[in-house]
Amino acid sequence: MAEPDPKTFVTVKTTLPRKPYTTINVRPSITTERLILRALTPDDVQPLHIIRTQPEVMIWTSRGTVDKDLAATQNELAFFLPPKDETTFNFAICLRETGEMVGIGGHHNKMSSFGWPEVGYMFRKEAWGKGYGTEFLKAFVREYAALPREEVVLKIDPRTVTAPSGEGGRAGDGAGELLPVVEEQLVALTEINNSRSWGVMKKAGFEHFLTWVARDTRYEEHKPIELPAYRYFVGRPAAQ
């Protein structure tokens, strides 16, 4: 399928978490069986730098390359620290037993290419294959879904819309025009070879809704690459 094109987007009524998010100085941590998801702090730059300088991790990001120095990691971390914590909901993912930060994840990008908010995550390679990715994503979507909501008007890719929800599926927008009411979604984007990440998304209750072909920005040749897109219906019961 073609890549998302904002010129084709449709305007809908839906819900999103109410902004601003709780600032990180008072944001509660989330505890799971083996992990603590806590607010990021400026002191996380060192462990984040370890993650962001592992080529095995960074190859799965849209840039594809490692951070060139600590200052580059500091810039990335700044996206989630005050004052930007009011628009992002991203967590340091730490081991409960030792407190060691092994990953970072959450709602890092205000809007995905499809117009819906996006979730993302990365773990240092030593922590892979132990189920932490799944444990994180399940806990994150539960917390995200429980945030207070507000009604919003949003421009979204029509291919993300299955069936309108709500009474009759339509509602007035207050300006005389009727806008479709659609179920809120959280989107996760991955690439065709990242089967670990699909595994995590599926187990956390995400469903694949389309695969599009983009130019691979990680390599100079910009070859075409398939990008499967997944979505999570925030208002539906969570995966166990």
For residue 5, the minimal CB distance to ligand COA (Å) is 22
For residue 180, the minimal CB distance to ligand COA (Å) is 29
Of 5-13, 30-38, 152-160, 193-201, the segment contacting ligand COA by CB under 6 A is: 193-201
Judged by CB under 6 A, how many residues of this single chain contact ligand COA? 19
Minimum CB distance to ligand COA smaller for 130 or for 170: 130
Rule CB under 6 A: is residue 130 a binding residue for ligand COA?
yes
Of 36, 39, 93, 200, the residue at the interface with ligand COA (CB under 6 A) is 200
Closest CA to 123 of 138, 114, 133, 115: 133
C-alpha dihedral sign at 131, 192, 111, 165: negative
Length reported for the chain: 240
Cβ contacts of 79-83, under 8 Å, gap ≥ 24? 79/108, 80/24, 80/40, 80/108, 81/24, 81/40, 81/41, 81/42, 82/23, 82/24, 82/25
Single-letter residue type at 154: L
Strand partners, 154: 12
Of 190, 206, 212, 218, the residue at the interface with ligand COA (CB under 6 A) is 190
Site for ligand COA in 35-94 (CB under 6 A): 57, 60
Minimum CB distance to ligand COA smaller for 30 or for 152: 30
Minimum CB distance to ligand COA smaller for 123 or for 184: 123
For residue 221, the minimal CB distance to ligand COA (Å) is 22
Of 6, 131, 166, 169, the residue at the interface with ligand COA (CB under 6 A) is 131
Rule CB under 6 A: is residue 132 a binding residue for ligand COA?
yes
DSSP states of 178-192 as a string? EEEB---EEEEE--T
Strands, E, within 41-199: which ranges? 89-95, 101-109, 118-123, 149-156, 170-172, 178-180, 185-189
Residues that bind ligand COA (CB under 6 A): 57, 60, 121-123, 128-134, 190, 194-197, 199-200
